[in-house]
Every structure is written in C-alpha cells, then in structure tokens.
Amino acid sequence: MEYVKDMVFRWLDSDAHRAQTGVVLQLVSTQVDPNSENPKLSKEAKIYWSINPKTRGGSKISHEVEFVVDANFGVPGAIIVINKYKKEFYLESIVAIEGLVHFACNSWVQPHGFHAQKRIFFSNKVYLPNDTPVGLKKLRENELKQLRGNSEDSRTTLNRIYDYDVYNDLGNLDKGDEFVRPILGSQSQPYPRRCRSKLRFTSYYIYVNVESPVSKYMPKYVPRDEAFGDLKAKAITEGKWKALLRSLVPTLKQKVAINGEAIKSISDITELYKESLPPFEEGGDECWEKGGLPKLLNKMIKECGQDVFKFDSPKLISRDIPSCCLRDDELGRLTLAGMNPLSIERLKVFPPVSNLDPSIYGPQDSALKEEQIICHLNGMSVQQAIEENKLFILDYHDVYLPFLDRINAHPTKKAYATRTIFVLTDMGSLKPIAIELSLPEKNRNGTPKRVVTPPVDVTTCWLWQLGKVHVCSNDAGAHQLIHHWLRTHACLEPFIIAAHRQLSVMHPIYKLLHRHMRYTMDVNAQGRQLLLNAGGVIESHFFTAACSMEVSASVYQNWWRFDMESLPADLIRRGMAVPDNRATWT
C-alpha cells in the first residue's frame, strides 16, 4: 500500500501531471503590438501548490512568479488567469513590478474545464470608457459580455452571470393553492427586478411561469462573487439559529394553548423578555450529544445558557414594565427615533384625505374632526398649528386599507388601517392626540371608521391603549416591508445587476459602489427563500400574512420615486425639512 501511495505522489510531481494542472498567469500590456494590433502579452508563467490535505484549508498561500516580457512591453494593465486544477480557488490580489502595479482580484477563479473563458483581472487604475488604454479596450468589452451571459442558459452556483428577472419565486405550488403568490414585476404589478436564477422547471412550473422552490437539491443562485464569505456565512448562520431559538418559546406556548390563543394580553408580550424553556442544565453535555443537535447550536447553548432563548430586553423595559411601550411620550419618541423614523410627516391638510379610488374603497374623507384635537393645541386653531409646524401625522390608511378584508379573514390576524396625529409640545417632544382606525367601507361588522383620543376614564383608557397597539403593528409592518426590504434591499438589487453589466471594474463609479454592494444579493436571495416566501417568517409573524409582498408592491407602484429617496429630498417631501438654497447636499 505504501508503494502505491509513493507511485501516486511521484506521478503528481511528474512533468506529465504538472502540464495538466497549475495556474497559468499572463500579463497584458496597456499597449498593442503594432503588427497584430492585439495587446502585448508576456510569456506564460505557471505556479503550483501542494494538494496534500494537510496543507490545504482556509489559510492564505502566497507565491512568487517571474514574468518574461519584451523590453518595450510597457505598463501591465491586466492579467490573464487560467485555473487548470479541478477545484475553484479564491484569488485575493496580485502585485507586480515590486509593488508598482496592483491587481485587487477578490474573486473565485473556476476550473478552466468548467469556465472555458479566460479570467481577466484589471489593475487598480481607473479609466472612463473613452480613456481606456487601447490595449485594454477589447478585454474590457469581453469581460462585460461574460458577466451579462446568455439569458437562456441555466445557472449553477459557480456562474458569474448578472441578469434580470421578476419575482416569480415566492410561491410554492407543490404545497397547495394557499401557497400560490402573484408574480411581482409585471406591468400590472410593478416591482424592482431581482437576479435571474434560471432554475430548472418542471412542466407544471413552466406552464404557470414561476420558478420551482429552492431546495437542498437545487440551491439558490447568486453570482459566485456575491456569495457570503466564510466569516460572513458563519455570522449569518449563528443569527439564524438565534432567531429560531428565540421564537421557540412563543411558538411552543402557542402550540399548547387552547385554540392557539397564546397571546391574550399585553403582559403576555412582556413575558417574552423573561421566559426560558424548561431547564436544560440538567443532564450536562450528554443530553445534547444524544439529541443530535447541530454543533453550532450546542456551542451557542453552552456559551449563552438559557439566555439564548430570550429576546434581548430593551433598557426601557427593564426599568418600567409593562407600561413603558404604551406611554404616549414613548410612542412619540419611537415614532421619530425608533426603528422606523421614515414614515412620520408634517401634517399639511386637515382633515387628511385618502388617495384611494372612492368607487372601490368608499369616501376619501377622514373621520378626524377639529373638535377632537383642538383641546391639545394650547389655544391654537388646527390651521394655526399646521402653519406653525406643530402637527405631524403617521398615515397608514392608504397603505393597508386595500388588503384588510383578506388580512382580517385570517383566523389569527386582525388589523385596522391607522392614522395618528401628533402634536409638538413645548418640551420639544411628540405627543399622540388622536388615532383613526379604519376598515373597508363595505365592512358591515362594525363602524368603518372610528377615532380614539387620550382617555378620560377606564374604558377610554383601554381603547386608547389598544389603538396605540394597532399603530405600532402598522408601523412594524411598514418598517420591515417598505422601508427595510423595499427601499433598502429590493430597490438596490437592479442597480447592483446594472453596475456589473454596464460598468467595468475599472470604472471610477464601480470602484465607489463595489464595497456598498457586497453581499446584498445573497442577503436578498436568502430573504426570498426564508423570510418573504409563502409561509415564511414574515407571513407567519406579521399581521399582513399572505398579503405581505403585495403591500410592498403597492407602495412601490403608488409612492416610490427614485428622485425622492435620498436626503434632503425625502425629508423635504415629508415636510420634515425646509429647502435651503444656500446649503449644498452631496
């Protein structure tokens, strides 16, 4: 047996084997050969590394190599890399001419047998298209063609192809009709584009023009260089386990509760910050090993103990349970300085008016009246308070009203569309003074619109508290589905795709954008797979349920504007800032 091993390693070290392996490198000049009009090239150079498993792993390996060039070669502007090994490797950087020329590669290089086209890496020097040295122009064009790919080709996780597609991957027809979701991105339901996965379809999925769901046999696709690195992937995995464990306690409570009604009061919610699962400390490590739990989960529980099952307790809750989250001043503070400060606007017209079609959703008038709020305005009229910038509004009426019939048909999801009026107090804080709760006009089970105001007795006290709960619920949905997912993640993805398809890595704008685009496509792909998909985390835990992504699409169609997304335009649109011609915003 030792003789056989010796023969194998002798062959691996032989010239015959080395000719079939290694990494081929070739410098490309910024100049062209006057005879052939092709870029000047150096002689090919090869490097090898040991395939001994003991020397392999995640550690960095550096190699020195000599290039043979003509005396009039000029300045290297690119380098060709061919991987003749059977596995990919990550190329971090190449430094040439004693550090004078630097190639920041930061990319996976696929085996030449899989990716027949030669990999091109350009130096760190930036060029606009018209300024590109003549020796690099064709290489620049060819690199962009590779990244655009062929829209008809299928994708594997090793590809580096950036192409556009609609959101046709959110549903799962295999689970039944209740898991069917509309395609977002059509003319009737516009939405930002995502990266085309081009997964193989069954005939049934082809017929309905949607992608088959991602599974362990058919992993999600993102361009290879967009996938999480090892450290990022580890952090994401730990975050997933923590989220799973922290939702375990309320999930178990709901499973064992009568009729699934686990949350019956506000105090039940505050208990989530204090409860743990039954004692796991008994039995030591042995109970975990026999349970077959993943090593990462085992490690987390050993390190964190039962705290890993708890939600992180806000500092405010630790000093005032349970009234803190329901206090008027705290609601006002969170509206401006909490997780979602992007919805509040200065009130410009009173009473507010809906923009929804009255033939479908009923009268556009609000139920809010001046007499309901004037007692909180320190002697001012409503119009005077508006003119002096004292009144603000958190308006979710038009966002949620079209979906309330479907939401409230759910056995455990109930909601109103809310409008909340705030007044700016003399202390500089925001105070809620009226909440409008709306249902669709055709709803016959109660009053379509009602207004609750700060309490005067025990009954109105709880009505006011419950009104604020609905406001917080509306606000949480807007934060996650609109400001976080839509405006931050979904709207950025088509720009990332366009940047890779249209901007060379030598383009100065690409250099500026690259570090901000990193990992976003992988985050989005995992979001569509686990959070936003039919039956996923968002639909299971948010009141919007199966309507969640349609709410997001409705906002994109009716309210999203590219020229209003940045500062100060967004603040000016919401009346939270005044245009100043003397200021310069960049």
Q: What is the DSSP track for 213-252?
A: PPBTTB-----GGGSPPHHHHHHHHHHHHHHHHHTHHHHH
Confidence tier at 282 by pLDDT (50, 70, 90): very low
Q: Is the pLDDT of residue 477 over 90?
A: yes
* Range 296-300 contact pairs with CB under 8 angstroms and sequence separation of 24 or more: 296/237, 296/238, 296/241, 297/241, 297/245, 300/238, 300/241, 300/242, 300/245
Q: Is the pLDDT of residue 452 over 70?
A: yes
CATH architecture of the domain covering 327-470: Roll (3.10)
Which pTM does this prediction carry? 0.83
- Spell out the residues 6+ positions from residue 32 whose beta carbon is closer than 8 angstroms to its own: 38, 39, 40, 134, 135
Q: Which has the minimum average pLDDT: 322-331, 351-360, 489-498? A: 322-331
Residue 289 corresponds to which tokens in the numbers above?
């090993």
Question: 387 or 206, which is more confident?
Answer: 387
C-alpha span between 5 and 412 (Å, rounded): 65
pLDDT of residue 211: 75
End-to-end CA distance of the chain: 70
Residue 27 amino acid letter = L
Q: Is the pLDDT of residue 47 over 80?
A: yes
Residue 561's alpha-carbon distances to 199, 345, 551, 557, in angstroms, are: 32, 17, 16, 9
Q: What is the mean pLDDT of residues 358-368?
A: 90
Q: What is the mean pLDDT of residues 315-341?
A: 75
Confidence tier at 281 by pLDDT (50, 70, 90): very low
The strand pairing partners of 435, in sequence order, are 420, 452
Helix (H) or strand (E) holding 27: strand 23-32
Q: What is the mean pLDDT of residues 553-564?
A: 94
Question: 538 or 265, which is more confident?
Answer: 538
Q: What is the mean pLDDT of residues 313-336?
A: 70
- Spell out the residues 6+ positions from residue 433 whose beta carbon is closer than 8 angstroms to its own: 373, 376, 421, 422, 423, 453, 454
Q: What is the mean pLDDT of residues 32-54?
A: 80
Q: Which has the minimum average pLDDT: 53-62, 187-196, 264-273? A: 53-62
Confidence tier at 324 by pLDDT (50, 70, 90): low
Residue 185's alpha-carbon distances to 146, 201, 214, 229, 557, in angstroms, are: 26, 19, 20, 30, 10
Q: Is the pLDDT of residue 13 over 70?
A: no
Angle between helices 493-502 and 137-148 (to 10 degrees): 140
C-alpha span between 538 and 530 (Å, rounded): 9
C-alpha span between 128 and 507 (Å, rounded): 6
Q: What is the mean pLDDT of the chain?
A: 81
**What are the tens digits of pLDDT across the range 228-263?**
876 666 766 666 666 655 555 555 455 444 444 555
Residue of 153, 251, 248, 252 lying closest to 198 (CA atoms)? 153
Q: Which has the minimum average pLDDT: 404-413, 458-467, 577-586? A: 577-586
CATH architecture of the domain covering 2-129: Sandwich (2.60)
Confidence tier at 579 by pLDDT (50, 70, 90): confident
What are the structural domain ranges in the chain? 2-129, 230-319, 327-470
pLDDT of residue 175: 82
pLDDT of residue 437: 96
On whether the CB atoms of residues 347 and 341 are closer than 8 A, the answer is no
State the virtual CA torsion across 44, 128, 151, 492 in degrees, nearest 10: 120
